[in-house]
Amino acid sequence: RLLVKVKECSVMRSPGLQEPTDPEMKELDVLLDEIALLSSRYEVYDAFLRERVSEAIARARAEQKERVATYLFKESFVHDTRLNERMQELIAYFAGMEEFFLVQNVQKAIRLDESVEDSLTSTIVDDVFYVLQKCARRALSTANVQAAGAVCNHINNILGREYLEVLQKRLREPEDLASKMGLGGSGAFPSIMASNPTRSIPKPKVALTTILNNIEVSGEYVVKLRNELEVDFEETFSSADDRGKMKATVAFFVETANLFKEV
């Protein structure tokens, strides 16, 4: 039943469809929470089952009952394998839909960006990183290293591509505006204004200094997000191998943070 609902929601990702509505995005948000909860409980069950069967196999071998041990190894995971297949299918949908959820909400934060009085940054920074942090922690709550790794990769790609590109484009807007008005760059403003003081110059939605602050603070937030996730890995994954995989994944966040510094 849940899988049917997941497949229905995954249709929203199909190219050519109109942008999903807020109620549809809220429904997707709830569905992703449900999958994450189900996955975390499955991982607990899976660990319990494997531990018990491993103990039974060890006892059988200790008693030199190799045929029993072989039977346990081959047969005891039949039900688990079927469940595992279902969970893997759900997790595959989860990773794709979480990416869609990320992109849609980051784009919304970009559209609704505005300056805030007495704030060094505009709303885009806090809004974007709130979404990224929420999705990263939801992925970790699945206790599935594949899901968590996939979502962290999506986050890094969004930061280093779509989000950074938007900030870079806005940084160029004052020069583009001057060029379109025939002012030849920022240095031409004084002479033009002197010759025509009544000429009005459109103001950008967000001031240049605020855009520069957005870029600087965003770079700091990328590093902060990576550090927070590394702490969460220790609490989420009992396997040193899984923790190592996740740390290797978010290590690329440092490179992304450097991209913001280089702007």
Contacts 24+ apart (CB under 8 A), 121-128: 121/210, 121/213, 121/214, 121/217, 122/206, 122/210, 122/211, 122/214, 124/166, 124/214, 125/214, 125/217, 125/218, 125/221, 128/163, 128/218
Residue pair 122/116 in contact by the 8 Å Cβ criterion: yes
pLDDT in tens, 172-211: 875 554 444 444 444 443 443 444 544 444 455 568 899 9
pLDDT in tens, 122-153: 999 999 999 999 999 999 999 999 999 999 99
- For the whole model, what pTM was predicted? 0.79
Neighbours of 44 (CB within 10 A): 11
pLDDT value, residue 4: 66
Nearest CA to 138 among 232, 20, 1?
232
Amino acid at 62: A
pLDDT in tens, 77-122: 545 567 788 888 899 899 999 999 999 999 999 999 999 988 999 9
Q: Which of 20-24, 75-79, 239-243 has the lowest mean pLDDT?
A: 75-79
